[in-house]
Amino acid sequence: MRFTIRDVAKKANVSVSTVSHALNSTRYVKEETREKILKIADELKYKPSTIAQGLRKKSLETVAVFVPNISSQFFSQILIGINEVALKNNYHIIMANTFFNSEEEEKTLENLKNQFIDGAILVSGNDNVACIKKLKMENFPFVLIARDIDPDIPSILIDNFKATRNIVDYLVTMGHKRIGYVTMNFSGRKTVEDRFLGYKEGLEENNIKYNPDDVLVVDEAMIDEMAVSYRHCKKFFNNKVPTAIITATDNIAAGLYVALKENGFRIPDDVSVVGFDNLPISRFLDPPLTTMKQPKKLMGYKGMEILLDLINKKKLPDPVIKLETKIIERDSVKQII
């Protein structure tokens, strides 16, 4: 059996309020009584019940984080950032893995919102716009990471459009004129679509004709991203390859790498590849992958900070925060003379 504050009070011959105050230093308690109370609490190994405290304070100091798939380093890196800030502020994190299932996400969130959590971070996932606007209406504290839905909703983002456009520019600088693209299907994800649009815009600005035959839109759930990418790329890039291929994520690039090699292409001699995300693994692919960095930990960091501000009713300057990206040059792109 666990002891309660009443047990401590009885044993110390004081009232529960005195015990509470002594333990929380919320009002002055005579040194002598205080010590006595502390001693007894210690003897009984008394620990206040978090639930009871939560009921009074109407907070468990807990937030939920929704990610599509923790097995992807993109999400786990963001989680690490979130975790760091949470720890510092004595907040707990409920982890919800949605596998891109919006219904599941909505259901779990609905469930947790009932006082369990103070707020939520929704990382990526399908743009379940209706659900998210509803959240907003309810004034429930939440922030979006890597999810581009509404300029009025606190979001941590990069400029996906600009990022891929820059990649195209970069490749053009390196002499490439035929540039392919591999992406998961957009399925209502603006961030993913923006990358693709940036790609197209990049071509146009460089006077390269957009060629649908050079773009592969993988129409399959990207749970095991590398494997799915590999399977589709293997079929798609069998004899015709552009001189360079951009992928919507590093994980897709990893699958593409193997597919290309198995089909007899050398990277970057026969075909250059540029990824997106700069995952920790990307430097360990062969050849090390040139890629567009997203500041993943920072995104988590900022996201959690904003969420705490929201919970504490601080007002934010600007709901949408766009973070910097940059190209990390490694060895998967070849200069063409």
d(CA 147, CA 252): 19
The span of 26-34, 42-50, 197-205, 329-337 binding its own copies (CB under 8 A) equals 42-50
Interface positions, 259-278, toward its own copies (CB under 8 A): 261
- The type of residue at 184 is M
Q: Pick from 315, 279, 284, 329: which is nearest to 80 by CA?
A: 279
Of residues 52 and 223, the one with the C-beta less far from DNA: 52
Do 188 and 127 meet the contact criterion of CB atoms below 8 Å apart? yes
With binding defined as CB under 8 A, does residue 280 bind its own copies?
Answer: yes
Interface positions, 168-207, toward DNA (CB under 7 A): none
With binding defined as CB under 7 A, does residue 55 bind DNA?
Answer: yes
Do 157 and 320 meet the contact criterion of CB atoms below 8 Å apart? yes
Do 323 and 300 meet the contact criterion of CB atoms below 8 Å apart? no
Do 272 and 300 meet the contact criterion of CB atoms below 8 Å apart? no
Q: How many CB atoms neighbour CB 105 within 10 A?
A: 23
Interface positions, 10-49, toward DNA (CB under 7 A): 13-18, 20-21, 23-24, 26-30, 32-34, 46-49
With binding defined as CB under 8 A, does residue 62 bind its own copies?
Answer: yes
Do 177 and 259 meet the contact criterion of CB atoms below 8 Å apart? no
Question: Which entry of DNA, its own copies, none binds 88, CB below 5 to 8 A by partner kind?
Answer: none
**Contact partners, residue 157, CB within 8 Å, separation at least 6:** 144, 145, 146, 147, 148, 191, 320, 321, 322, 323
Helices 102-113/129-137 angle, 10° precision:
20
With binding defined as CB under 7 A, does residue 4 bind DNA?
Answer: yes
Q: Which of 45, 56, 314, 315 binds DNA (CB under 7 A)?
A: 56
Q: How many residues bind DNA (CB under 7 A)?
A: 34
Token digits for 158?
């990069």
Of residues 14 and 252, the one with the C-beta less far from its own copies: 252
Helices 31-43/16-24 angle, 10° precision:
90
Q: x/- string (CB under 7 A) for DNA, residues 109-128?
A: ------x-------------
Q: Which of 52, 129, 130, 336 binds its own copies (CB under 8 A)?
A: 52
Interacting residues with its own copies (CB under 8 A): 2, 47-52, 54-55, 58, 60, 62, 65, 70-71, 73, 76-77, 79-80, 83, 87, 92-97, 104, 111-116, 224, 226-227, 230, 254-255, 257-258, 261, 280-281, 283-286, 288
Q: What residue ranges bind DNA (CB under 7 A)?
A: 2, 4-6, 13-18, 20-21, 23-24, 26-30, 32-34, 46-49, 51-53, 55-58, 115
